[in-house]
Amino acid sequence: MAVAVATKPGAKGVHGADELPSVVVTSYNLEIRDGEGFVGDRASRGAFMEHLAELRRHLADAGEDPLAGIGKEPSKSELDALIENGEAREAALILSAIERFAQSLAFVIRRFLRQKAWKQVERIVIGGGLRQSRVGELAIARAGIILQTEGHAIDLVPVRHHPDEAGLVGSAHLAPAWIFEAFDSLVAVDIGGSNIRAGIVELRQKKVPDLSKARVSTSELWRHADEEPGREEAVARLGKMLREQIKAAEKDGLRPAPFIGVGCPGLIEPDGAINRGAQNLPGNWSSERFNLVDSIREMMPEIGGHETIVTMHNDAVVQGLSETPFMQDVEHWAVLTIGTGLGNASFRNRTKPGKRRKD
């Protein structure tokens, strides 16, 4: 029997809030278990690579691995190239792995749809690093077809922004309303199990007030998984990235708000403490003696001569928030982010559904 562990009931506050300006976060970081462990693990990037590796082992035992010349864990770009231009047997092998992964993804989504917070979900946005590849696009489309042929009236759509940028753009939907009246950009941070990104989100509200045209003007990506730093070293590196991004924004003629939006794995407590779910980050980020929000404030006490406000939420929530302007034709929607793990969040719009956007 599956067990769901949801967010702490009624948890409210500046950080990890369930009530945001445009949406209500009805759940995030759900941990659904069955006899084989966490269900979400079957739809991570690692799960796809395991499907591919298993198929390669079977073929190697039978005579020959069609992908023997590209290493044990090929990159997304290598796999995409083989689908487009590889030998038929190479492409067929990758498509077989995509089919297996799509079946796993459909299985995971069925389990989520059984949860109370997901029962009314009409559309699921798929983000994360795997989405930014032809392999990911095919897996998402195939999982959607599987679910629809089974009678599930639900749309699966890829996140519109590049996944590297969606986790930054979503921070604009965490910001207080006064920011949009006095500033044209803000600072955002996306912390993941493999990477940390920091950047400047240009709001572009003069073009469209609903933030649908918001974009990342500058950003920096640090792949901490390659260096295996300690927690304090990682935080110090983040501070350096933030200072450099603000300088770049000012050089570009932007006026960043005294606000930093942060997306981070795990359950986010109202005081900014990180509960379980941050095990892939460098060092112990869930320690009672560590508070990321306080650390960021200490490193960046002011922006443009004004006291800095820091607001943090779960990284899947923030990536999902980037889709808010495009979800106004439904009431209940959700996001799954396929990366080192499987992030998840579900939302209810505060306004009644309108017509579907065509852009």
- Helix, strand or coil for residue 89? helix
Residue 55 shares a structural domain with residue 199? no
- Helix, strand or coil for residue 91? helix
Which helix or strand (DSSP H or E) is residue 241 part of?
A: helix 231-251
Residue 227 shares a structural domain with residue 303? yes
Which helix or strand (DSSP H or E) is residue 156 part of?
A: strand 155-158
What lies within 8 Å, CB to CB, of 178 at 6+ separation is none
What lies within 8 Å, CB to CB, of 212 at 6+ separation is 325, 326, 357, 359
Is residue 303, in this structure, part of any structural domain at all? Answer: yes
Containing structural domain, residue 77: 25-160
What lies within 8 Å, CB to CB, of 63 at 6+ separation is none
pLDDT in tens, 153-195: 899 999 999 988 999 999 999 999 888 989 999 999 999 888 9
Is residue 104, in this structure, part of any structural domain at all? Answer: yes
What lies within 8 Å, CB to CB, of 149 at 6+ separation is none
pTM: 0.90
The number of residues making up the chain comes to: 359
Which residue, 160, 184, 201, sits at the end of a domain? 160
pLDDT one digit per residue (tens) for the chain, 359 residues: 333 333 333 333 479 999 998 999 999 999 999 888 889 999 998 999 999 999 999 999 998 999 998 888 899 999 999 999 999 999 999 999 999 999 999 999 999 999 999 999 999 999 988 888 999 999 999 999 999 999 998 999 999 999 889 999 999 999 998 889 899 999 999 998 889 999 999 999 887 889 999 999 999 999 998 888 999 999 999 999 999 999 999 999 999 999 999 999 999 999 999 987 788 888 899 888 899 999 999 999 999 999 999 999 999 999 999 999 999 999 999 999 998 889 999 999 998 787 666 56
Which residue, 105, 133, 160, sits at the end of a domain? 160
d(CA 39, CA 32): 6
- DSSP for 287-339? -TT--HHHHHHHH-SEETTEEPEEEEEEHHHHHHHTTGGG-TT-SEEEEEEES
CA quadruple 143, 149, 152, 155: dihedral, nearest 10: 50
d(CA 130, CA 79): 12
Residue 124 shares a structural domain with residue 137? yes
Closest CA to 337 of 191, 150, 216, 146: 191
Q: Indicate the number of domains in the chain.
A: 2
Is residue 324, in this structure, part of any structural domain at all? Answer: no
Contact 298, 246 (CB under 8 A): no
Closest CA to 332 of 5, 71, 23: 23
Q: Euclidean distance between the first and final Cα of the chain, in Å?
A: 42
Residue 202 shares a structural domain with residue 86? no
Residue 182 shares a structural domain with residue 150? no
d(CA 256, CA 245): 10
Is residue 72, in this structure, part of any structural domain at all? Answer: yes
Residue 29 shares a structural domain with residue 169? no
d(CA 193, CA 264): 9
d(CA 56, CA 52): 6
